Structure 1
Amino acid sequence: MRKFTFLAMFAALALAAGTAAADMKKVTLGTEGAYPPFNWIDENGELQGFDIDIGNALCAAAKLDCTWAVQDWDGIIPGLLAKKYDAIIASMSITEERKKKVDFTGKYYTTPAKFVRMKGSGIEISDEGLEGKAVGVQRATIHENFLRDNYGDIVTIKAYATQDEANLDFVAGRVDLLLADSMALQGGFLDTPDGEGAEFVGPDFTDPQWFGDGAGIAMRKGENRASRRA
């Protein structure tokens, strides 16, 4: 399965370059650059993270000359459609709503969503436990959609441009909980000094209705035919 997925993504990137994989062509990959541990900009101004490693490995295997473009999450699909870059590798979940606008490769990872609370807060994930609480979430994400659809009438939702901004407001006490991808919360927050006083709470959330079928590479409509043939 891993080999099949790799070949599918390999073929998709080759098609994005408009060439056979054996030829060296230029491809621009879009990412957010603000979503550790999947993609972020380090102290030297360099992109790092799992998404970046995946993209670079695929480009090397396909003998493509790849560069990266950083785009705010709100505008990442519009940027693809405007041809600012050829594909998105940014931990984008494969959802039915997004498939109306873009094509996807097969998924390259799947992780659940979870809530985070401060240790000792006693907050529980139930209608009663969440009543009147403020929850921080990244704007224009599957997590915001899930929160609004399932808890929008009992919590105050504060949506942020980046997950880091949500994390900072949580540490400052401006929101009571966070909701995000569990790996992003673990690697980008709980494992950092800022997250030492926080912990996961409640169940894993994985319902495909909101969370899709895992993270895939997004491409413009019609440009993923190669990945379906791989």
Structure 2
Amino acid sequence: MKTTLLGAALLIAAGLIPAVGSAADAKELKIATEAGYPPFEYRNPNGQLEGFDIDIGNEVCKRLNRTCVWIDQSFDSLIPGLQARKFDLANSTMTATEARKKVIDFSTPMYIVPVKLMVKKGSGLEPTAESLKGKRVGVQQGTTMETYARKHWAPKGVEVVSYPSYTNAYVDVTAGRLDATFQEAQSAVEGFLNKPEGADYELAAMMLDDPILNEPIAMGIRKGNALKADVDKVLKAMLADGTIQGYAKKYFAEGLIRFPAQ
């Protein structure tokens, strides 16, 4: 899509095209995200994109001398969008699972985040099929949490309810329509627990150690796209020089994110 100067200015003001470096004449790099997942990707009160993944993506564009064009769309449409060549990268806290690797490529791993169950204080609920039997648990569509819950919990009497974003799930938690939600721990903290409506809720004590929930987060790339080599090189450099770890300090409490060995 061609963009007029006025149109570009409006998009920059909206946070869809971050103004990075001297990239006015640089080739565009289209990156898709689902901006309803703080602190990874979200919109600030002015409607601009912010978050850990957004910072990483903007720096990748800067180091590649490309102009970032951010595309905000639902998480479960990211892989089809990559395959349809609607954008170059998907950067939205996407776990590099074996199933996804069959249909898209992934960048070098960027980070790993722990997954936890969020429950009402005093409920005693734990992330096990036995504890959750007969309960309703909210997950986001297309996530590894949904995959895990449908594989391990749903067959044993747990009702797994999928949502386009966790924002909707948190509304149903407070309304009593859900007994728990299942997500990356930091997302629950930033998206709900740190807000007044989250005062009566907490993360369940038990940490899940299933391999499917401990696979690294990476950027999704269309299979065969030569861009992968350049993105991998930049991300490895950003991990080696501490850039990504520095961004993490802006958003995460101690122990709520890990990084791949260098």
TM-score (norm 2): 0.74
Show the counterpart of 1:194. 197
1:42 is displaced (CA, Å) by 2.1
**1:34–1:27 CA distance, 2 compared to 1 (3 A):** same
Deviation at residue 205 of structure 1 after TM alignment: 2.1
State the one-letter code of the partner of 1:198. Answer: Y
Does the 8 Å CA contact 1:125/1:202 hold for their aligned counterparts?
A: no
* Structure 1 range deviating more: 219-228 or 69-78: 219-228
Partner SS, residue 203 of structure 1: coil
The 1:101/1:212 distance shift into structure 2, 3 A limit, reads: farther
What's the counterpart of residue 15 of structure 1?
none
CA distance in 2 between partners of 1:83 and 1:53 (Å): 23
Verify: 1:145 aligned to 2:138, yes or no: no
Distance 1:131 1:225 in 2: 46
Letter in 2 for 1:94: A
- Flag the structure with more relative contact order, 1 or 2, with Cα contacts below 8 A and sequence separation at least 6: 1
Paired with 1:228 and 1:170, the residues of 2 have a C-alpha distance of 39
CA contact (8 A) 1:28 1:86 kept: yes
Tell me how far 1:76 sits from its aligned partner. Answer: 1.0
How far 1:226 moved relative to its partner? 4.2
Q: Count the aligned residue pairs.
A: 208
Q: In structure 1, the residue corresponding to 2:167 is in which secondary structure? A: helix
Q: Does 1:166 align with 2:169?
A: yes
Comparing 80-89 and 199-208, the one that deviates more: 199-208
Cα pair 1:95 1:211 within 8 Å, conserved = no
Match of 1:79 among 71, 77, 81: 81
Runs of at least 5 residues in structure 1 that lack an aligned partner in the other structure: 1-22
Q: Distance in 2 between matches of 1:124 and 1:92?
A: 25
Q: Which amino acid aligns with 2:78?
A: I
Alignment correspondent of 2:123: 121
Task: Kindly provide the CA deviation profile for residues 77-106 of structure 1, in whole angstroms up to 9, marking residues without a partner as x.
Answer: 111111111101111001001101111111
2:104 corresponding residue in structure 1: 102
Q: Which structure features the higher share of strand residues?
A: 1
Superposition RMSD on alpha carbons, in Å? 1.9
What is the CA-CA distance between 1:122 and the residue it aligns to? 2.8
* Residue 74 of structure 1, CA deviation: 1.6
Letter in 1 for 2:38: P
TM, length-normalised to structure 1: 0.84
Q: Following superposition, which runs of at least 4 residues in structure 1 exceed 3 angstroms of deviation?
A: 124-128, 225-230
1:203, CA displacement in angstroms? 2.0
Identical columns (%): 37
Structure 1 position 154, deviation (Å): 2.0
Distance 1:129 1:213 in 2: 25
| Equivalent pair of 1:71/1:79 in contact (CA under 8 Å) | no
2:39 is aligned to 37
Cα distance in 1 between the residues matched to 2:130 and 2:60: 47
**Paired position in structure 2 for 1:207:** 210
Q: Which amino acid aligns with 1:63?
A: N
- What corresponds to 1:179 in structure 2? 182
Deviations 1:169-210 (A, max 9, x none): 0111101011111111122221122211110114222422x2
Structure-1 separation of matches of 2:126 and 2:208: 15
Q: Distance in 2 between matches of 1:36 and 1:212?
A: 19
